[in-house]
Amino acid sequence: MSTVETPLHVAAEFPVLRREFGGRPVVYLDSAATSQTPQPVIDAMTGYYTESRASIHRGVYPLAVEATDLYEGARQRIARWLQSTPEETIFTANATASINLVAATWGRENVGAGDLVVLTETEHHSNIVPWQLLCAQRGAELAYVPMLDDGQLDLDALDALLARGPKVVAAVHISNVVGTINPIEEIARRAHAAGAVVVVDGSQAVPQIPVDLRALDADFYAWTGHKAYGPTGIGVLHGRRELLETMPPFMGGGHMIRQVGDTESTWTDLPWKFEAGTSQIAEAIGLGAAVDWIEQIGIERIRAHEAALLADALPRLAEVPGLRLHGPLDAAERGALISFVIDGAHPHDVGEILGREGVCIRTGHHCTQPLMRRLGAVATNRASYAVHSTTADTDRLLEALGTVARVLQL
């Protein structure tokens, strides 16, 4: 039964967790898709709309200066949190937009016919499709690092691909399906030795584990706010400054220019060169508040808490008749999510029945269809934990899986 308590007992700070379905409190086990939002983040965004509403970077009146300071202050805190710099911290719409920015700017300038782009079998579509588009446009080749049966990447296969001199190695930090924490620092070291640029999807990692961008040494690192207790509509791209400075803008328009002539324009400084148009002001302020909130708890405490939940849940789920787990069985090797299938039960049926019991999990291919083919599955169920989760949530999950067995007569 429940032995793992939440850091600082933060569940009360999440308004959605007060909801009930069928007279039972909601159990939210879908944070890998979208995390819930704590009240301080909501308050920060509401504060902008009610007290500091103005455009940024343009007006010189006090309200506009205040809004600009809130926005850029959030950028500074976000950059400092991950050991980056404000100039190398670009606000985008989400991680997908961040990776598309890299593929459409650096990629088009540097990847040509016959060049090799290396991905892994564990990638989210957001770190596959932009590279597919680039390779189709430029006549380049795509190749994949296989996943081993235990959920780890085949680093020997990576070395074989690196021997071919790829231009790009793109890898996910934590798989959103099998949960594996990939050795990004080691992958980056090997890829750089082979002359490749390294692009990392950190969407699952940033809210779950300590991330030090200087230590990882990736060239580009993308993540999204809505998985990190922040709002939707904002993501972040951290890039190596010397690369960002040589890249053309992703979009043209207001704010990203230095001077606009009749036939050509020049661009402003980093990071604003990549932030055309009116920015996501409230969203950036909200993401800054989310980072502050995470820091108050401590990312190390969050990681320890979620790892303890995994260590409790994995063996208990493994005992469910007909249930098969995907990914590493050691909680220390994975992020705070568990994918599984149940023999004789379609994942969508499982998810729908659990939903009636107030237990929210994700079902489907999780935007990882190549990985689904590797697993021999059309879809999986995924339960993902967060800072507000407890082993009581796992108790409810297991109880609801019992209902699945009864309803489907398994």
Task: Cite the active site residues.
Answer: 367
Distances (CA, A) of 175 to 4, 123, 325, 334: 24, 7, 14, 8
Task: Report helix, strand or coil for 282.
Answer: helix
Classify residue 309 by burial, with Cβ atoms within 10 Å: 0-12, 13-18, 19+: buried
Do 259 and 200 touch, CB atoms closer than 8 A?
no
As a whole number of angstroms, the distance between CA 124 and CA 291 comes to 24
Alpha-carbon torsion, ordered 347, 352, 354, 360, to 10 deg: 90
Residue 245 CB coordination number (10 Å): 13
Classify residue 406 by burial, with Cβ atoms within 10 Å: 0-12, 13-18, 19+: exposed
Q: Which helix (H) or strand (E) holds 142?
A: strand 141-145
Classify residue 263 by burial, with Cβ atoms within 10 Å: 0-12, 13-18, 19+: exposed
Residue (of 42, 45, 43, 70) closest to 56 by Cα position: 70
How many residues are recorded in the chain?
410
DSSP 5: P
Residue (of 362, 359, 305, 293) closest to 335 by Cα position: 305
Do 223 and 235 touch, CB atoms closer than 8 A?
yes
Structure tokens at 382: 């995924």
As a whole number of angstroms, the distance between CA 6 and CA 301 comes to 10
Where would I find the H helices in 257-375?
A: 281-297, 299-318, 347-356, 369-375
As a whole number of angstroms, the distance between CA 195 and CA 274 comes to 25
Residue 400 CB coordination number (10 Å): 20
Residue 106 CB coordination number (10 Å): 24
Beta bridge partners of 180: 334
